[in-house]
Amino acid sequence: MITLREVSKQYKVGRDWVDAVKPTSLHVEKGQIQGIIGFSGAGKSTLLRMANLLELPTAGEVYIDGQELTGLNAGELREARRSIGMIFQHYNLLSNETCAANVEFVLKAANVPSKQRKRRVEECLEIVGLADKARQYPAQLSGGQKQRVAIARALANNPKVLLCDEPTSALDPVTTLSILEFLEKINREFQVTIMLVTHEIQVAKRLCSQIAVMEGGVITEQLDRSRPDIEPVTPFGKFLFDTTNSSSVWYRRGEQHE
């Protein structure tokens, strides 16, 4: 469903070019939940953002459901993006619009006729359990509720793919769990393929069918929940997975560098 082929991203910082993502490939099958985990600056958000070309790859190709996004013109890309939902760490809701209007915006953007829009807005808010908040503004909601509105918005155009950029990183553990349950439900009930970036190992373990470990701008290994016999091999993968307390992760990380 999602194929990133030898994508890379370089930024110009001052006079130097910096590799955010070195040539990397990733393939996600339909219906899977692909996690990408790594420390800050590993390039995981950049990799995710290349999947809908919010970040234009310096080189490489991006395919969604067999369609090469990197070969599309601006109008075709807009069309293609309507079947790729996205949610963000800081929700990115329109602050001067109601929850219903936030969901409706993406339907308007897809030129859905007015009557159908109203119905779809209700359905989507229903899915995330916020039908009663339709007329409220984002500032009146809790963080978890805002993220659920963002999920409703991402679902409005019946996407095939949902991209999640650190969706629970601003939330407390209990709310995190409820958001993960919604994502699971969406994946199961609507067969939406999910690609999720996180730095929280518990989130990745709880939700993902595959986990890619990223370090220094490349995927260093890909772990699969259905193959527990395949143990992490890279030092980074090992300590990500076999520690129970996060402080020891940092402690070991420090040791490795000495």
Least gap, CB of 51 to other proteins (angstroms): 10
N- to C-terminal Cα separation, the chain: 42
Closer of 86 and 121 to other proteins (Cβ) = 86
| Ranges within 109-128 binding other proteins (CB under 8 A) | 109-110
Least gap, CB of 231 to other proteins (angstroms): 36
- Residues 152-173: b if buried by 16+ CB within 10 A, e if exposed: bbbbbbebbbbbbbbbbebbee
- DSSP SS3 for 107: helix
Tell me which of 28, 88, 195, 196 binds other proteins, using CB under 8 A.
88
**102 touches 94 (CB < 8 A):** yes
| Ranges within 131-190 binding other proteins (CB under 8 A) | 137-140, 150, 153, 157, 163
What is the Cα–Cα distance from 32 to 49, expressed in whole angstroms? 18
| Ranges within 91-110 binding other proteins (CB under 8 A) | 92-97, 105-106, 108-110
The residue count for binding other proteins (CB under 8 A) is: 32
Q: Tell whether residue 10 is a contact of other proteins (CB under 8 A).
A: no
| Ranges within 11-70 binding other proteins (CB under 8 A) | 52, 54
Residue 39: count of CB within 10 angstroms of its CB: 15
Residue 252 CB-half CA count within 13 A: 15
Q: Whose CA is closest to 48, among 81, 21, 68?
A: 21
Closer of 106 and 223 to other proteins (Cβ) = 106
Positions that interact with other proteins (CB under 8 A)? 52, 54, 77-82, 84-86, 88, 90, 92-97, 105-106, 108-110, 137-140, 150, 153, 157, 163
